[in-house]
Structure 1
Amino acid sequence: MSTHLFGIRHHGPGCARSLKEALHALQPDCILIEGPPEANDLIPFVAGAEMQPPVALLLYVPDAPQNAVYYPFAAFSPEWQALQFAVAGNIPVQFCDLPQAFRLLPAEKSEASEEDEGEEDENEEENAEVASVQELDLQARLVRADPLLVLAQAAGFADTETWWDHLVEQRTDSLDLFAAIAEMMTVVRTEITQASDQLQDQLEVRREAYMRQMLRQAEKAGYQKIAVVCGAYHVPALARMPTAKHDADILKGLDKVKVAATWTPWSYGRLAFASGYGAGVEAPGWYHHLWHQPEQAVLFWLSDVANLLRKHDLDASSAHIIEATRLADTLAALRDRHRPGLDEIMEATRAVFCYDSDAPLRLIRRELLLNDRLGAVPADAPNLPLPQNVALLQKKFRMAVRADSTDLELDLREAAHLEKSNLLYRLSLLGIDWGKRQHLRGKTGTFHEAWRLEWQPDFAIKLIEANIWGSTLETAASAYVIDMARRAQTLPELTKLVERVLLANLGMALHDVMRRLEEVSALTPDLGYMLAALPALANAMRYGNVRNTDTAAMELVVSKLLSRICIALPVGARGLADEPAAQMVKDLIAADQAVRMLQNEDYLNNWFASLVQTARQESSHGLIAGRCARILTEQGQWSEEQAGQQLAVHCSHAQTPLLTAHWIEGFLQGSGALLIHNDMLWQLINSWMASLGAETFIELLPLLRRTFSSFAGPERYQLGERAVASKGAAAVTLHTDTALDQSRARLVIPVLQAILGKTLHDDQPGANA
């Protein structure tokens, strides 16, 4: 009976290749692999033709799916090669790590366990031991976090990643590799980290105790050649076997929870350090080449670089590939390395292909180093009903699940396209943003939608979490939005939810959501909330028409809401401070567009009547009264003479200058067309401004400037032209208590010339102050 320990890095082509050769040479009769025992029944799926790495084992708590963990595998993962070797050779294989049933406990249980373990630390002697641990020097803590860093630095490397890559992953033979790893890790754990042994993670202690128990079970079962594939750091702990009682005591009394497992697609991007994956690698795209083309990895890599740059219209030729290959080889030789590694290749790529520019290099890192390759799992792999239903819909609509971005354009007049849109919106309601709406120029029709699709591996856990709402996507999304509606307390929340329900075409949920909307609407006294809700409802009714949804219930709610708005608007416009008034103007503009979108004559008549009342009452805030007058004028409800009369009233000396300025801002803000083409309005505003005293004018200047700055550039230019050409401009006199200083006044002429785009001559109005 013999046990062979193979210490590996979790994702490395060199380790994977060496392990594969070692297993073929050993021909074990049992293989134990570091991984979750709950997934043992899923091991046979690795041999299926539909199983394409990268993939991951997903383990979760059925009653609390947010408690989950992934075990990713790529083709170059040693564990994956061990699994395939075992399944292909019909060799008994199982995972031997500490079960997730002991690790995926709810947070409160974990905290309670930690408190129980800490209860014995209350005496002074034990507190002193804790203090001594805390006083361990920084170097010891750093060694515990990365025990191989000392060896890497001793070998002349700045970091562990580069050192391990050159030492292990780039090798093409398995000559004494695992014996060397075992010896190295023994030294690391017995000598280098002995200063920080007190920082040993309790979880790691339990994991190694459980692995030793699994090894004892395999020996007891009578297997003669046992191969153990585990992280290199665990090898010394498995080589020295303590008593079975010692390990049993470590594992005694652990709480556990029920755990389920399945396979899910994974991506290279999520195997990288950059994704936050603790056992990740720096460049999975590079390791892909090292695994599939070990002898010509550099050539294949640089060819991919050239193809990528050509795809983005950047210069890249065969000569570039040759020169970059030579430069990488030269750099490796200068650094006394037997072959170029990632550092040498990236330096050569930057010098030859990128002309020392960071922009192409960022593209290469994103597209090639990380490489968004997405794996696939068999359709018959165990899964919950909702994820299965979504997979069937994706297959039915031929919407490929990919990690990279793809664009999708839909015409909702086609039934198949409408179904695809429904799928994307329903997933979005469940928090799965597979598709994101894009806004393209020239394609703004209601029937046209543009999407950008990008599947994220963690969507799998979100689908599992959403399974509690229903077994199909439609029922799950419907149940979820009904629950959201019940919990919503404000009108804007519900109106946005209604819009999303209609976009997702969830007819079965619309009735419940609309009933809740009507309840909240009837109890909402805030005019701002009611105005803000109207545009969303109008949009929802439009989308309902596009998607052939019955919106009769919604129309009833809109009718009641608009009636309440028309009654409340004249009252709500009174006594407001400037900031709430400015916000109400924005809501008023949006609500006006919504009312006109509904194309209902009764709605329009009631709306315009409310605007007239608000515009004419003296107590309305100037911003709101001015905007109401502007809407009435633009929609032909008031003639320009009527608008001029209101302006004259507000520009009279009976009004304070600030109130007048607010009215003008509300009336003119956003467009100066009325001021350009209406002589009466121009004269009224011009005369009012000319009548202002110097101090009052300076006080109001920021307000006026804000109003005129909202005009388009051509409008400002035409107003400037009109100011210069105005015959009455020369007659304007400023009211000031002091004599005008002609020399100082002339200093502003260059500024005026720059603003107006004209050269002022002495015979032009305004040239002589």
Structure 2
Amino acid sequence: MNDTRWPKAYDSGPLLLGVRHHGPGSARAVRTALDAARPAVVLIEGPSEADALIPLAADPDLRPPVALLAHALDDPGRSAFWPFAEFSPEWVAIRWALEHGVPAHFIDLPAAHTLAWKESADEKEEKEKETPAGAGAGAGAGAGAGAADEPLGSEEQVRVDPLAVLAEAAGYDDPERWWEDVVEHRGPGERDPFAPFAALAEAMDALRERYGAGGHARDLVREAHMRLRLRAAGKEFGDEVAVVCGAWHVPALRARTTVAADRTLLKGLPRVRTDLTWVPWTHRRLARSSGYGAGIDSPGWYGHLFHAPDRPVERWLTEVARLLREEDRIVSCAHVIEAVRLAETLAVLRGRPLPGLSETTDAVRAVFGDGSDVPLALVHDRLVVGDVLGEVPESAPAVPLQRDLTRQQRSLRLRPEALERELELDLRGDTDAGRSRLLHRLRLLGVGWGEPARSRGSTGTFRETWRLRWEPELSVRVAEAGVWGTTVLAAAQARAEADATAAGSLADVTALAEQCLLAGLPDALPLVMRVLADRAALDADVGHLAQALPALVRSLRYGDVRGTDTGALAGVAAGLAERIFVGLPPACAALDGDAAQEMRGHVDAVHTAVGLLAETPAGAGVRGAPGTGAGAKEPAGAEAGDGAGAKGAAVSGAGSGDLRDRWRAVLRALSSRDSMPGVLRGRAVRLLLDDGALRSEEAARLMGLALSPGTPPADAAAWIEGFVGGGGGLLLVHDERLLGLVDGWLTGVPTEAFTDVLPLLRRTFAAYEPGVRRTLGELLRRGPGDTVAGRATQGAVTPGFAAEPDTGRADAVLPVLRLLLGLDGVYDTADDDSLAGVGA
């Protein structure tokens, strides 16, 4: 061995480079030490089975942050991650070995044991409510690799954070700040590249002597396996062996133990069959706040320190200025200069070798934010933490489903991104329609890459808005979904069929039918429809039927945008509607307050569904003779005898007008029966009024009856809640006669009953927009003799309204209206009296 390049402290053994996971200072120190030592082999803390994946790190398409993902073959949901960033010392060691043609091996406990232990740890954690997964040494210099570091048992001693102990001994109250001062801010000009590792090893020796395993009982087993791998490497390569591991493990790897003792610790460990691969990771998932045990507070800041060793403060504050400018904040070059000076001054006052994150943060607050913390939240989220997403090459091992997903992402130009973004889709285009189907299929498989969002622009049925964000855990979900098939289409179809068979309620099946249409799974629909017809035939609960109908009708209404055949749904939808019409009035009788409120929601949903069903072209199938179904097709499930499919197809003459008329008859029955709860009677009257099936005079008469002195105040308040609840309260603004009835009733409520009805009324009127409440208050402020009730009984004219409509003024608006709508092209005003009467 050449003593000029090999440290004397390690002449008799391997070179142990103790590091902190994900530390840029440690990463640079490891690279410098390896350049100086030139070992024959590099051993790295990580699962032993992952050796075959090390050569992939040389692929230029493998861009950190990435993670080793291990999952159990029999249960893909049982998994563990070992993340690496560009500033991770282990990643630097891997890259150094590949660049210099030196063998590199992982030496930690195999993932087969880690996952088996993880399962038992999870069971104990759930039973005993122990420390959350990954808490332990994760924050310390010797922390294990994140999700794989699970607590083992309840008899462990209190866990020790090595960084916190060393920082406290040095007089620091912040471990992160201490680590920055002693490691991350070290200058590159030190003569001995091994000195920091020797000092850190000495500190860890004292900690292990004081705290033993430090509450990390599994570390003893892991370290036994590392020692065995270290001995094997020594036999093959001699003493020129470099080990890059958590500093916490260095004393244990230098300890004198026997092979028999180490093998005894490893004897009888549980194991499972596993598979490993590289997956993309994000800076956000490297953060400790994400729950990652070995996480750091500022991955974005550490990445900046690693890539900008020269003038890091100036470069950082320039990047902060760029971000704030993009957010339309006024930031000039003078701001950057002043912020740099302030950060350097703060570092001198605080006795720090260089300005750290706390100094730059204080400078940003003072100079860029004028003392406000508002810009700091943006800087912390986008820069201090960041949304950098790694990339993995196609050559990396992956389950067939992941490969198919990657192929579709590429063909649809739908690239995964860590930063949340909104995607607007126009389903009339092939590419956007394909994107929609892919996202819906993934949602059905439990891979929540995209979540539907409300469109800010067009509300047409051909528009969809998605909120996309790729999380590393979705790779596990894809592996889990691989049990359903090798392609996204096949897996989604198999999952839909299985979910239909196992569905617990009728509404679940109808929602699944809607998902199948949105996801473009026509081959799964026959089974889903058969289950739907069978469930509908056996389910006598009107509430369940009412929950099921809206999703079914939406499928009929909107499925044609995707070119999906929805004919089989028409008969089932009509059958459900028919059963609801028959069973709803009896089901609404004698309900308590909570049940009545729930049923009110069902009534609203059915009302909307019937309106859509009557207007849907696919609904024309229910007009034909029995057996015709939708068009010439027999609805799926018609063979179920008296099931909903056969019954729906046999609705004789149930055209769109018949459906509306029958539903209005049900609403009239609800509105006129005294046995119905007040909230349902009021709601039925309101729906009839809004639908044009009830004149305003009749609605006023029914309200007068409901608010008569003989009606208990609580029932009257419930009727008002059903009638005027929802709709924003504009009905009362534009119909002062109804407002007068409500006002007259409310002023006549006895004092002893007023406190009982107040919560109902408050809940009703508090939901109105502030402007509507203000208008109602102005109308009522005039007093009962001058407004509403008095004028309604005396036939007086409401201010702002004439006794009869002025048809002349109304006709004057028609030319402009027709021009705006483009009904007759350019309207010739010479054929009319121009627009002179508009402002009269």
**Normalized against structure 2, the TM-score is what?**
0.78
Match of 1:91 among 87, 102, 106: 102
Residue aligning to 1:602: 658
- C-alpha displacement of 1:456: 0.7
Conservation of the 8 A alpha-carbon contact between 1:412 and 1:448: yes
Local SS of the residue matching 1:269: helix
Residue aligning to 2:202: 186
- C-alpha displacement of 1:80: 1.1
CA 584–92 in structure 1, closer or farther in 2 if over 3 Å, else same:
same
Conservation of the 8 A alpha-carbon contact between 2:64 and 2:84: yes
Residue aligning to 1:28: 39
The answer to whether structure 1 residue 102 and structure 2 residue 113 are counterparts is yes
Q: Which moved more, 1:631-640 or 1:571-580?
A: 631-640
Match of 1:725 among 753, 763, 786: 786
1:588, 1:450 → 2: CA distance? 28
CA 682–398 in structure 1, closer or farther in 2 if over 3 Å, else same:
closer
1:408-450 deviation per Cα after TM superposition (whole angstroms, max 9, x unaligned): 2111111111111111222222222222333243422211122
The answer to whether structure 1 residue 66 and structure 2 residue 77 are counterparts is yes
Conservation of the 8 A alpha-carbon contact between 1:30 and 1:223: no
Q: How does 1:654-733 map to 2 (within 5 A)?
A: 659-670=715-726, 712-713=772-773, 714=775, 717-718=778-779, 723-726=784-787, 729=790
| Amino acid in the other structure paired with 1:178 | F
2:788, 2:123 → 1: CA distance? 86
CA 347–659 in structure 1, closer or farther in 2 if over 3 Å, else same:
closer
Local SS of the residue matching 1:601: helix
1:76, 1:426 → 2: CA distance? 37
Conservation of the 8 A alpha-carbon contact between 2:33 and 2:193: no
Local SS of the residue matching 1:555: helix
Residue aligning to 2:796: none
The answer to whether structure 1 residue 229 and structure 2 residue 244 are counterparts is yes
1:127-169 deviation per Cα after TM superposition (whole angstroms, max 9, x unaligned): xxxxxxxxxxxxx977x61234343234332233222222122
Residue aligning to 1:391: 406
The answer to whether structure 1 residue 524 and structure 2 residue 524 are counterparts is no
CA 224–689 in structure 1, closer or farther in 2 if over 3 Å, else same:
closer
Residue aligning to 2:643: none
1:475-509 deviation per Cα after TM superposition (whole angstroms, max 9, x unaligned): 21222222222222222222333322322222222
CA 259–410 in structure 1, closer or farther in 2 if over 3 Å, else same:
same
Conservation of the 8 A alpha-carbon contact between 2:343 and 2:359: yes
Conservation of the 8 A alpha-carbon contact between 2:78 and 2:119: no
Conservation of the 8 A alpha-carbon contact between 1:527 and 1:565: yes
2:20, 2:393 → 1: CA distance? 27
Residue aligning to 2:16: 5
Local SS of the residue matching 1:33: strand
1:340, 1:399 → 2: CA distance? 41
- C-alpha displacement of 1:259: 1.5
1:368, 1:656 → 2: CA distance? 62
- C-alpha displacement of 1:699: 6.0
Conservation of the 8 A alpha-carbon contact between 2:157 and 2:215: no
CA 318–396 in structure 1, closer or farther in 2 if over 3 Å, else same:
same
- C-alpha displacement of 1:468: 0.6
Q: How does 1:344-423 map to 2 (within 5 A)?
A: 344-423=359-438
The answer to whether structure 1 residue 176 and structure 2 residue 232 are counterparts is no
2:261, 2:701 → 1: CA distance? 97
2:167, 2:341 → 1: CA distance? 27
CA 629–185 in structure 1, closer or farther in 2 if over 3 Å, else same:
same
Q: Structure 1: 5+ residue runs without aligned partners? A: 115-139, 733-755, 757-769
1:68, 1:448 → 2: CA distance? 37
CA 611–57 in structure 1, closer or farther in 2 if over 3 Å, else same:
same
1:544, 1:62 → 2: CA distance? 38
Residue aligning to 1:635: 691
2:23, 2:290 → 1: CA distance? 17
Match of 1:46 among 54, 57, 64: 57
- C-alpha displacement of 1:181: 2.6
1:338-365 deviation per Cα after TM superposition (whole angstroms, max 9, x unaligned): 3222222222222222222111111111
Conservation of the 8 A alpha-carbon contact between 1:403 and 1:455: yes
1:379-436 deviation per Cα after TM superposition (whole angstroms, max 9, x unaligned): 1111001111111111111112211122221111111111111112222222222223
Q: Which moved more, 1:457-466 or 1:352-361?
A: 352-361
Q: How does 1:543-562 map to 2 (within 5 A)?
A: 543-562=558-577
- C-alpha displacement of 1:563: 0.5
The answer to whether structure 1 residue 75 and structure 2 residue 91 are counterparts is no
1:478, 1:96 → 2: CA distance? 42
2:23, 2:342 → 1: CA distance? 25
CA 88–604 in structure 1, closer or farther in 2 if over 3 Å, else same:
same
Residue aligning to 2:677: 621
1:606, 1:64 → 2: CA distance? 52
1:525, 1:519 → 2: CA distance? 12
2:123, 2:698 → 1: CA distance? 75
**Normalized against structure 1, the TM-score is what?**
0.85
Q: CA RMSD in A?
A: 3.1
1:32, 1:12 → 2: CA distance? 18
1:624, 1:454 → 2: CA distance? 42
1:655-713 deviation per Cα after TM superposition (whole angstroms, max 9, x unaligned): 65655554454344446666666688678777777877666677656656665666633
CA 512–717 in structure 1, closer or farther in 2 if over 3 Å, else same:
farther
| Amino acid in the other structure paired with 2:523 | M
| Amino acid in the other structure paired with 1:472 | T
The answer to whether structure 1 residue 583 and structure 2 residue 598 are counterparts is yes
Conservation of the 8 A alpha-carbon contact between 1:17 and 1:172: no
Local SS of the residue matching 1:65: coil
| Amino acid in the other structure paired with 1:17 | R
- C-alpha displacement of 1:41: 0.6
Local SS of the residue matching 2:50: helix
1:664, 1:113 → 2: CA distance? 54
Local SS of the residue matching 1:218: helix
| Amino acid in the other structure paired with 2:91 | W
Residue aligning to 1:565: 580
The structure with higher relative contact order (CA 8 Å, sep 6+) is 1
Conservation of the 8 A alpha-carbon contact between 1:622 and 1:659: yes
Q: Structure 2: 5+ residue runs without aligned partners? A: 2-12, 126-155, 616-655, 794-798, 800-840
1:259-290 deviation per Cα after TM superposition (whole angstroms, max 9, x unaligned): 21000111111112222222222212122222
Q: Which moved more, 1:229-238 or 1:297-306?
A: 229-238
Conservation of the 8 A alpha-carbon contact between 1:209 and 1:251: yes
1:79, 1:705 → 2: CA distance? 62
- C-alpha displacement of 1:304: 0.4
The answer to whether structure 1 residue 482 and structure 2 residue 497 are counterparts is yes
- C-alpha displacement of 1:720: 5.3
Conservation of the 8 A alpha-carbon contact between 2:347 and 2:355: yes
Local SS of the residue matching 2:684: helix
CA 610–71 in structure 1, closer or farther in 2 if over 3 Å, else same:
same
Q: Which moved more, 1:634-643 or 1:505-514?
A: 634-643
2:275, 2:294 → 1: CA distance? 23
Local SS of the residue matching 2:387: coil
1:700-731 deviation per Cα after TM superposition (whole angstroms, max 9, x unaligned): 56656665666633355446558452497499
1:225, 1:706 → 2: CA distance? 77
1:296, 1:152 → 2: CA distance? 26
- C-alpha displacement of 1:38: 0.7
CA 701–386 in structure 1, closer or farther in 2 if over 3 Å, else same:
closer
Residue aligning to 2:525: 510
Local SS of the residue matching 1:377: coil
1:49, 1:727 → 2: CA distance? 78
1:422, 1:112 → 2: CA distance? 37
User: How many residues get paired?
Assistant: 706
Q: How does 1:9-20 map to 2 (within 5 A)?
A: 9-20=20-31
Conservation of the 8 A alpha-carbon contact between 2:678 and 2:718: yes
Residue aligning to 2:338: 323
- C-alpha displacement of 1:45: 0.6
| Amino acid in the other structure paired with 1:88 | E
